[in-house]
């Protein structure tokens, strides 16, 4: 079992949007970063747990738990000239971009803001989310950090 964090702009696709999907799943298309792609393509396994993070909004933070809900497969949006994420260099016979399905698990009882997570930088040392200049939209979370952040949800550490 591995743990991840995935970012989404709530104006584009929010955690509530995921919950409202008929099967509560969404293909995580549009990722055009090699590091993020490699994690989805090479490391993710069905059932891995995911922190769902809202970025580029008033209070950025972790809002819910999701899970990896499919094996990796080519990102079809890269082949579609009309798609915003079209990439002419991605060849259907040798796809450049991959995705997994992300499935809804549960809301957190409260949003855990980035600002609060940063207050625990000592305990969360190495967490990519709080590393300087980090912009990865998909990142691994160490099991200890996963547990620590879930404890924050319950307010156990304030």
Q: Which residues here bind DNA, judged by CB under 7 A? A: 7, 9, 32-35, 55-57, 60, 114-115, 118, 132-137
Shortest distance (Å) from residue 11 CB to DNA: 12
135 phi/psi in degrees, rounded to 5:
-130, 10
CB atoms within 10 A of CB 147: 11
Is the separation of the CB atoms in 65 and 50 below 8 Å? yes
Upper half-sphere CA count for residue 104 (Cβ side, 13 Å): 16
Of 77 and 137, CB closest to DNA: 137
Shortest distance (Å) from residue 56 CB to DNA: 4
Of 33 and 157, CB closest to DNA: 33
User: Phi-psi region for residue 47, left (φ > 0), alpha (ψ -120 to 50) or beta?
Assistant: left
Shortest distance (Å) from residue 62 CB to DNA: 10
Of 46 and 121, CB closest to DNA: 121
Q: Would you give the distance in Å from CA 134 to the centre of its chain? A: 14
Of 22 and 89, CB closest to DNA: 89
Shortest distance (Å) from residue 86 CB to DNA: 12
């Amino acid at each position: 079992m591995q743990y991840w964090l995935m970012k989404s702009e709530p104006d584009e696709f929010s955690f509530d949007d995921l919950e409202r999907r008929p099967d509560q799943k969404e293909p995580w298309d549009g990722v055009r970063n090699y590091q993020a792609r490699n994690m989805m393509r090479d490391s993710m396994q069905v059932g891995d747990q995911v922190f769902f993070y809202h970025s580029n909004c008033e209070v950025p933070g972790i809002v819910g738990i999701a899970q990896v809900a499919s094996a990796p497969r080519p990102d079809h949006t890269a082949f579609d000239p009309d798609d915003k994420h079209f990439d002419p260099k991605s060849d259907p016979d040798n796809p450049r971009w991959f995705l997994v399905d992300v499935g809804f698990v549960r809301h957190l009882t409260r949003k855990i803001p980035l600002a609060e997570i940063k207050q625990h930088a000592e305990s969360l040392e190495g967490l990519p989310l709080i590393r300087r200049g980090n912009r990865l939209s998909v990142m691994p979370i160490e099991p200890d950090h996963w547990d620590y952040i879930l404890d924050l949800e319950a307010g156990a550490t304030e």
